[in-house]
């Protein structure tokens, strides 16, 4: 039976996918059988019936957005910060973003939805002169998002200052954004929220992880501990040790960060991947 509480969303911007991208689809099909699955794609494929039929055959509905959102990372970030996107899926309580460099290892989504968090994504790991440590949570490549709260943030007209807001924002790479916040807090007029959203040009997952709670005070981002159980990205061997030597729900960017780790610990995912690829390409 299909669980209508959540929709799985995978962005696809091209017609031909790589073998490892099909492997990502395979992992979703195997582990997320009980949920509606949607491909979001550029409108240039709107009249390409072959493209639509292929995804329909594998249980995906195709939803189209303007081509301008599928040009590069910046354009994708704009889509993920646009209320038009989230309004397409208001029939569901949650969405799970599963990019094509993601592998899913289990079906534990009921557990994650029942934690009543607004945003869950892998933690970012720092490795510098101070050693290896977790930075903050919320990588967006594989992420669980509560749709109603996301819309509340994007439609908010309030920008609320927190007493310790400098303390919760990492300075590295965010100095201009922090300075913008500081200026807006000093101005303290009713268009603060809209001004901030207009000038914000960084990664969309940074926005949800670090700044959304300035628009909706109760916005709940998963803790490092929860994020680690949900997904890994960089330094999977370190994350594995810190997660009590347990594999998470999924991984983002597995090819980029130590693919041999995943081939060792989740060999079953990679078995017969060529046969699956051939079938999807036939």
pLDDT in tens, 56-88: 999 999 999 999 999 999 999 999 999 999 999
CA distance 92 to 90: 5
- Angle at which helix 273-281 crosses helix 19-31, to 10 degrees, equals 100
**Predicted confidence (pLDDT) per residue in 162-175, tens digit:** 655 555 566 555 77
Written as one string, the DSSP assignment of 57-104 is: HTTEEEEEE-GGGGSSHHHHHHHHT-HHHHHTTTTSSEEEEE-TTEEE
- What pTM, to 2 d.p., does this model score? 0.93
In terms of average pLDDT, the best of 125-129, 190-194, 216-220 is 216-220
Percent share of the chain, pLDDT over 70: 92
The residues with which 41 forms a beta bridge, in sequence order, are 64
Q: What is the pLDDT of residue 159?
A: 86
Nearest CA to 135 out of 238, 16, 255, 28 is that of: 238
Q: What is the pLDDT of residue 270?
A: 85
**Environment class of 126 (CB within 10 Å of its CB; exposed 0-12, middle 13-18, buried 19+):** middle
Between 3.40.50, 3.90.550, 2.70.98, 3.30.70, what CATH number should domain 3-156+221-281 receive?
3.90.550
Q: What is the mean pLDDT of the chain?
A: 91
Does the pLDDT of residue 118 top 90, yes or no? yes
Q: What is the pLDDT of residue 188?
A: 76
CA distance 65 to 43: 6
Does the pLDDT of residue 281 top 60, yes or no? no
Percent share of the chain, pLDDT over 90: 73
Does the pLDDT of residue 273 top 60, yes or no? no
Q: What are phi and psi of 103, to 5 degrees?
A: -120, 135
Confidence of residue 280 (pLDDT cuts 50, 70, 90): low
Q: What is the pLDDT of residue 184?
A: 86
**Predicted confidence (pLDDT) per residue in 169-204, tens digit:** 665 557 788 888 888 888 877 788 889 998 998 899
Q: What are phi and psi of 139, to 5 degrees?
A: -60, 135
Query: What average pLDDT does this structure show over 127-154?
Result: 92
């Amino acid at each position: 039976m299909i669980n209508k509480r959540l929709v799985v969303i995978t962005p696809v911007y091209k017609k031909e996918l790589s073998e490892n991208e099909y492997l990502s689809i395979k992992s979703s099909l195997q582990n997320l059988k009980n949920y509606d699955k949607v491909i979001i794609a550029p409108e240039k494929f709107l009249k390409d019936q072959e493209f639509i039929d292929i995804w329909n055959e594998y249980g995906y509905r195709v939803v189209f957005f303007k081509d301008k959102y599928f040009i590069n990372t910046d354009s994708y970030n704009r889509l993920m910060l646009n209320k038009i996107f989230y309004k397409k899926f208001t029939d569901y309580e949650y969405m799970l973003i599963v990019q094509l460099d993601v592998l899913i290892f289990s079906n534990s989504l009921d557990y994650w939805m029942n934690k009543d968090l607004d945003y869950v994504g892998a933690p970012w790991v720092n490795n510098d002169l101070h050693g290896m440590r977790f930075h903050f949570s919320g990588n967006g490549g594989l992420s669980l998002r509560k749709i109603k709260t996301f819309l509340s943030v994007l439609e908010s007209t309030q920008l609320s200052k927190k007493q310790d807001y400098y303390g919760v924002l990492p300075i590295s790479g965010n100095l201009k954004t922090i300075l913008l916040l500081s200026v807006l807090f000093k101005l303290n007029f009713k268009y603060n929220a809209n001004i901030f959203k207009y000038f914000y040009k960084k990664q969309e997952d940074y926005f949800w992880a670090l700044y959304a709670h300035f628009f909706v005070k109760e916005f709940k981002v998963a803790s490092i501990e929860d994020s680690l159980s949900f997904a890994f990205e960089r330094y999977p061997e370190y994350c594995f040790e810190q997660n009590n030597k347990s594999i998470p729900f999924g991984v983002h960017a597995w090819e980029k960060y130590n693919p041999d780790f995943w081939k060792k610990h989740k060999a079953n995912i990679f078995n017969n991947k060529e046969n699956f690829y051939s079938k999807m390409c036939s």
